[in-house]
Amino acid sequence: MSRNAYVTLVTNADFALGARALVRSLALSGTPADIVVMHTGGVADAALAPLAALGARLVEVDLLPTSADFNARHARQALHAAAPFTKGAKPAFHTPLDNFAKLRLWQLDYEAVVFLDADTLVLRNIDRLFAYPEFCAAPNVYESLADFHRMNSGVFTARPDPATFDAMLERLDRPGAFWRRTDQSFLQAFFPDWHGLPVFANMLQYVWFNLPDLWSWDAIRVLHFQYEKPWQDHDKADRLRPLIELWQAYAGDGPVPALSDLPEPAR
């Protein structure tokens, strides 16, 4: 085992499909760090086998022991009614409550972790992030400059520590607690002085058509398919076609295109 690990979370077969492309992208980056897939018990062995075949370490984790009231507030229908998503569509397989299992990474046996959502791709080696402090994340930029005040929890740096996990669990489920964007809202509150990574360390796909002047293949290290996923049929697929085709290349077994050969967004 390495002292460092890239970690993702898989809670169903769809996210296992996404994680295969992520794990392959990490392997192609040449990292010597461990690649860990935390998975909840409901994910079938057949969905996990391709991840193990690519060299990922599979670690089964439980959902957090949150209260019935907390679970009811963060169930999909209740959360989406109280805090609707107005900028994009969350897929039907998205279960908000499962997101909190991400906190289990603080129980892992590593010195440094870089967490990556299962709907990300690593386009260049990012091993330098293991030297970054806890807690670093990029701003949630995908529409305007106003996005910079919020962090996105799709990519972040962490230092596993059982004491930190216990403190998180104590704060997470206090009476009446409601985390509007689940783990993202909680982590921003728990680490209010979070260190900002550049947007290129977690480039959200909507930047492609909303902020094309910010897009630079020369600088992007992690591409994040927030909202709609590249393995879905969805109403933004035509606008995002070059990004979806890039994901498909990583999700397959053949060569991946050179970033210098990729098209630029319309400006």
pLDDT at residue 85, as a whole number: 74
| Number of separate domains in the chain | 1
Q: Provide the CATH number for the domain around residue 8.
A: 3.90.550.10
Model confidence at 84: pLDDT above 90: no
Q: Which of 26-30, 109-113, 145-149 has the lowest mean pLDDT?
A: 145-149
Taking all residues of the chain, what is their mean pLDDT, rounded to a whole number? 95
Residue 66 lies in a domain: yes
β-sheet bridge partners, residue 35:
6
Residue 230 lies in a domain: yes
Q: Which two tokens stand for residue 45?
A: 């062995």
Residue 266 lies in a domain: no
Average of pLDDT values for 120-149?
95
Average of pLDDT values for 93-108?
91
Q: Which residues does 32 contact at the CB level (< 8 Å), separation at least 6?
A: 2, 127
Give residue-wise pLDDT tens across range 213-239.
Answer: 999 999 999 999 999 999 999 999 999
User: Is this structure's pTM higher than 0.75?
Assistant: yes
How far the first Cα of the chain sits from its last, in Å, is: 45
Residue 30 lies in a domain: yes
Residue 127 lies in a domain: yes
Find the domain containing 211 and state its range: 4-261
Average of pLDDT values for 66-84?
89
Average of pLDDT values for 45-70?
97
State how far the Cα of 134 lies from the Cα of 174, in Å rounded to an integer: 24
Give residue-wise pLDDT tens across range 3-41.
Answer: 999 999 999 999 999 999 999 999 999 999 999 999 998
Looking at the chain, the whole-number percentage of residues with pLDDT higher than 90 is: 88
Q: Which of 23-32, 90-99, 154-163 has the lowest mean pLDDT?
A: 90-99
Contact call for residues 160 and 108 (beta carbons, < 8 A): yes
Residue 253 lies in a domain: yes
User: How does residue 94 score in pLDDT terms, banded at 50, 70 and 90?
Assistant: confident
Contact call for residues 159 and 131 (beta carbons, < 8 A): no
Residue 267 lies in a domain: no
Query: Which helix H or strand E contains 40, and what residues bound it?
Result: strand 34-40
Residue 84 lies in a domain: yes
State how far the Cα of 229 lies from the Cα of 117, in Å rounded to an integer: 12
